[in-house]
Structure 1
């Protein structure tokens, strides 16, 4: 059947429209793949491309700037990825930029993200190689989540077992919850601990006050810390020591004199014939001897007293040094 002119015109229009649509599709796809614009090559080395394919997008700071041109397997742990980058963006990429592989959304295609470099590094040149960073893959995340779920299940089972034993009154915590007598005893113990802590705090406060009052000149320790009082005490002790020595000498001489009198020697011989006078002299000598003994005991007590012990030790050391000389 011969076609009419209107049918031929319709067919021609249909074919022309199809060709225009095809050309537009090729143009848009090529433009998206950076096939018609000015581009430069940029390389990156990965140890795992995580399902990256040819034609996947390359993004720089979140902007699509190119596509994956080639993926080359160099060895078992090195994969080279060749990227076509738009020339307008190429000069903004620095040599210390880092390339990472991620996904476009949760379930989208894999893409390459180029993280901008910091500092004043120079821009990359065509064919340069930038650093790469391998992120955690989804499989690794799922494996980790699987292990975490198993551990969570074990922890949940153990927790259920523990809570069941507690509710049944087993173990220390169960006894504390179920046993009312033990709970009462525990409350009393805590109450006594509070009282003890309060008393300890008050004792520490009093002790601090006592320590701070040691520097007060109105008490004994404060007086001893005064240099003027210490010098006066040293003078008194020296005078007492000297007086004790003189009294000892006097008592010795007096004893010798009395012995001479008893033996009938000296001008006082006639006194020995008077028994009453002798008794008075004997009584006087006894009193003097007792006073001397008491004074010696007082001096010994002073030597052992903590206030004067240091002074007598210094005197003994000085005497030893003089004897050695």
Structure 2
């Protein structure tokens, strides 16, 4: 069947409109992927890309500045990511910036966030590698929340058990709540504590009064606080210190004397440390004893001698006469006293 002119025109318009839509789609997609602008590469190394895919966005301070161009596995713990970045942004990105993998929203697509540091630094160049950090991803947060929910469930079960035991009057808390006797005892104890507190307040008041009384001058502490008494005490302490100084001087002289004796100086040390002299003195004393004994024998012999016998008898008669007259004199003196 031969097509009419109107159908051909409609087909041409459809093809033109479809081609325009295709061109616009390619343009917008290419512009979004930075395919038509001036771009350069930046790289970053991660240990885990957390589901990052080619074409995902790259943001700098929250602004889309490029896309992920390539993801290369270096080893089991190192993954190299190549980013296609708009050249006009390079002057703003410093070489101390850090890259982290995040998500677009809570559960959106993975993106790379480039975050600036506060310290000033030179700008990056094409092909540079920037540092990377690992941030907490939503999966880790969900895992933590799951563990927290499980722990909360276990805690709720334990709290229910404790509450049931308290309601049944079991355990210390249940006994305190359910037992009226224990409650009365606690009430009595609290009352006693209040009375004790009042007594303590009175005691503290008395102590304060005693301290105020001690501050007066009519007691020992008040006397000690008197400047005149303090001056006298100070003078007494000075005299004691002077006496102690003199005592130390005497002790030093005594130490020096003892030291001289120990070092062989002086008569005492000479007598104590010279054995020959001691022997001579001992021999002399022995000779003196012998001489005294011999002298006594000579005197006894003289008493028996004819020439001296009369003299000694005369001495004995004088002694006897003196002994007889002495008691009489004593009695006469006593009579005079009375």
| TM-score greater than 0.5 by the shorter chain | yes
| Aligned equivalent of 1:303 | none
Give me the whole-angstrom Cα distance separating, in 2, the residues matched to 1:132 and 1:205.
70
| Aligned equivalent of 1:190 | 190
| RMSD after superposition | 2.6
Q: TM-score, normalised by structure 2?
A: 0.66
1:237-295: CA deviations, max 9, x gaps? Answer: xxxxxxxxxxxxxxxxxxxxxxxxxx9999xx97x54xxxxxxxxxxxxxxxxxxxxxx
1:156, CA displacement in angstroms? Answer: 1.1
Alignment of 1:170-185 (within 5 A): 170-185=170-185
Deviates more, 1:38-47 or 1:5-14: 5-14
Alignment of 1:283-298 (within 5 A): none
Determine whether 1:30 maps to 2:30.
yes
Q: TM-score, normalised by structure 1?
A: 0.68
CA contact (8 A) 1:93 1:117 kept: no
| Aligned equivalent of 1:319 | none
User: Bigger radius of gyration, 1 or 2?
Assistant: 2
Deviates more, 1:185-194 or 1:2-11: 2-11
Where 1:94 maps in the other structure, the secondary structure is coil
CA contact (8 A) 1:169 1:178 kept: yes
Give me the whole-angstrom Cα distance separating, in 2, the residues matched to 1:46 and 1:265.
141
Where 2:159 maps in the other structure, the secondary structure is helix
1:229, CA displacement in angstroms? Answer: 4.3
Where 1:155 maps in the other structure, the secondary structure is helix
Alignment of 1:128-139 (within 5 A): 128-139=128-139
Where 1:173 maps in the other structure, the secondary structure is helix
1:117, CA displacement in angstroms? Answer: 1.5
1:188, CA displacement in angstroms? Answer: 1.2
Give me the whole-angstrom Cα distance separating, in 2, the residues matched to 1:45 and 1:265.
142
Give me the whole-angstrom Cα distance separating, in 1, the residues matched to 2:332 and 2:29.
153
Where 1:3 maps in the other structure, the secondary structure is coil
1:203, CA displacement in angstroms? Answer: 1.6
Determine whether 1:204 maps to 2:179.
no
CA contact (8 A) 1:95 1:117 kept: no
1:81-115: CA deviations, max 9, x gaps? Answer: 11111122221111221111111112211111111
Inter-CA distance 265–137: structure 2 relative to 1 (3 Å threshold): farther
Count residues with an aligned counterpart: 242
1:161, CA displacement in angstroms? Answer: 0.7
Give me the whole-angstrom Cα distance separating, in 2, the residues matched to 1:198 and 1:49.
71
1:197, CA displacement in angstroms? Answer: 2.0
Deviates more, 1:1-10 or 1:221-230: 221-230
Give me the whole-angstrom Cα distance separating, in 2, the residues matched to 1:126 and 1:78.
21
CA contact (8 A) 1:96 1:118 kept: no
| Aligned equivalent of 1:121 | 121
CA contact (8 A) 2:106 2:138 kept: no
Inter-CA distance 65–190: structure 2 relative to 1 (3 Å threshold): same
CA contact (8 A) 1:54 1:71 kept: yes
1:35-59: CA deviations, max 9, x gaps? Answer: 0011121111111000000000111
Alignment of 1:262-273 (within 5 A): 273=338
1:145, CA displacement in angstroms? Answer: 2.2
Give me the whole-angstrom Cα distance separating, in 1, the residues matched to 2:69 and 2:331.
146
Determine whether 1:143 maps to 2:164.
no
